Amino acid sequence: MEETLTWDEMRSIFLDEWLLITDFELDSSGHLIRGVVARHSVDKDEVYRLPALDKPSAFKFTGTSTFPGGWRAHAEHYHV
Amino acid sequence: MPNTTTFDTNAPYIYLPISVISGNNTLYEFDAIFDTGAPRTEFSDTALAYAGVIGATKPSVLKDGLQTQKYAKAILPQVHICGHSIENLEVFVSHFEKSWGIDALVGLDFLRRFRTEIDYSRGILVTEGLPLAVR
């Protein structure tokens, strides 16, 4: 039987990995509370591979984003 | 009626969960960043391909700079964000770097639809649909 984990447990077990989570529960804001990790990998393509699972799925990354966007990044990049 | 959405004030960005209901009525939940630098909401092509919204992704050729690589538009049948449901939302399809760890950018089009109050002291977004949204 697949184990249900909390989001905090997922983050501690699967470091810097992409997760596909099924049978999940969300809070009132839509944030993940717990679920079953159906796929995990450091390679995003491996987790998002087709065919898709035939059930509701949540996708999460447990690492730190390197996203460079936002006004602050824009200002730093263009030395505003 | 305003909705209240929590966010982590310790994170470097405002992360928001965004749900896409696909044509086969399956829910897909993705992580997004609220980015007022994006004129329109964008989704990663890999996420939309998984949800069956687009057929295939294009090879990436990321250019230097801060722009995402937008290459198409798509209509999402139904999206849930901050407790609001939006039907037939037009979004950009983009290549997202894997290290970004997200699948969507919530852009200025969200602010055209919803009055939005960001309260960092409480870690909440209070959003309410505008009666005459400018789309």
Q: What is this structure's pTM?
A: 0.89
Q: B86 in contact with A at a CB cutoff of 8 Å? A: no
**Contact between chains at A69 and B49 (C-beta distance less than 8 A):** no
Percent of chain B with pLDDT over 90: 71
For the residues of A12-30, what is the DSSP string, one character each?
Answer: HHSTT-EEEEEEEEE-TTS
The whole-angstrom separation of Cα B57 and Cα B48 is 9
Using the predicted structure, report yes or no on whether residue A7 has a pLDDT greater than 80: yes
Residue of A nearest to B45 (CA): A48
**Domain containing residue B89: CATH number:** 2.40.70.10
| In a domain? residue B135 | no
Mean pLDDT comparison of B32-41, B114-123, B125-134, highest-scoring range: B114-123
B99/A26 touch (CB, cutoff 8 Å), yes or no: no
Of A32, A55, A70, the CB nearest to B13: A70
Q: Two tokens at B124?
A: 């909440």
Residue at B36 is within a domain? yes
Both tokens of B51, joined, read: 């949800």
Q: Would an 8 Å CB–CB cutoff place B91 in contact with chain A?
A: no
Q: B70: pLDDT confidence band, cut at 50, 70 and 90?
A: confident
Amino acid A79: pLDDT = 56
B87-120 per-position pLDDT tens digit: 999 999 999 988 899 999 999 999 999 999 999 9
Q: Is residue B40 part of a domain?
A: yes
CB-based contact B105 A69, cutoff 8 Å = yes
Pairing status of strand B69-81 against strand B104-106? unpaired
Q: Is residue B39 part of a domain?
A: yes
**Phi, psi of B74, deg, nearest 5:** -145, 155
Q: Is residue B134 part of a domain?
A: no
pLDDT tens, residue by residue, A20-45: 999 999 999 999 999 999 999 999 99
Confidence band for A49, pLDDT divided at 50, 70 and 90: very high
Q: Tell if the CB–CB gap between B99 and A54 is shorter than 8 Å.
A: no
What residues of chain B lie within 8 A of the CB of A77, using their CB? 65-66
Say how many CB pairs under 8 Å bridge A and B.
107
Asked if A15 is an interface residue toward chain B (Cβ–Cβ < 8 A), one would say no
Helix (H) or strand (E) holding B108: helix B108-113
Instruction: Identify the band that residue B36 occupies on the pLDDT scale cut at 50, 70 and 90.
Output: confident
**Model ipTM?**
0.89
Cβ burial, residue B23 (10 Å; 0-12/13-18/19+): exposed
* B35 contact residues in A (CB cutoff 8 A): 69-70
pLDDT at B133: 60
The helix (H) or strand (E) run that includes residue B29 is strand B27-34
Q: How many domains does chain B have?
A: 1
Amino acid at site A60: K
Quick check: B114 and B130 in contact, CB under 8 A? Answer: yes
**Residue B111: domain span:** 3-129
CB-based contact B101:A64 (threshold 8 Å): yes
Q: How confident is the model at residue B64 (pLDDT cuts 50, 70, 90)?
A: low
Q: Across the interface, which of A24, A45, A52 has its CB nearest the CB of B52? A: A52
